[in-house]
Structure 1
C-alpha cells in the first residue's frame, strides 16, 4: 500500500527500526515492530517496483517535453 502520510523510517545503530508519521494535526513516533513493520514492508515494496534512476530521469524528461 502507498503511504497516506509522510513517513520517516530510521534504522538505529543497534539495528532497531522506528517510524515517524506526521499529519497536519500531530506527529506519531512508533518504536514497536508490530507498528513499524507495515511501513518497512510498504517501503521495500515501493523500492522493488520503482523504476531505476536512469529510467526515472528519462521518464521525467519525456513528460516535461510532453511526448508520450
Structure 2
C-alpha cells in the first residue's frame, strides 16, 4: 500500500505538487504550505507526519526541498 500523501519532485519554476488520496491539494513552496494542505484535509498533527513514510511519499527529490529543479 502506498502513502496517501504524495509530494512530487520540484518543478522547473520551484514548488512541489501535492496530492492527498489522489486528489490535487496544491503546489507547496515550503513545508509550511504542505502542513497547511494537510490541515485543510483534516490532519491537524501535520508537522508530525512530514517524515513518516506511512503517510507521505516524497518523489523525485530530497524531502523538504522545494527549489526549482
TM-score relative to the length of structure 1: 0.31
Q: TM-score, normalised by structure 2?
A: 0.31
Larger Rg: 1
> Which has the larger strand fraction?
2
More helix by share: 1
Higher RCO structure, 1 or 2 (CA under 8 Å, sep 6+)? 2
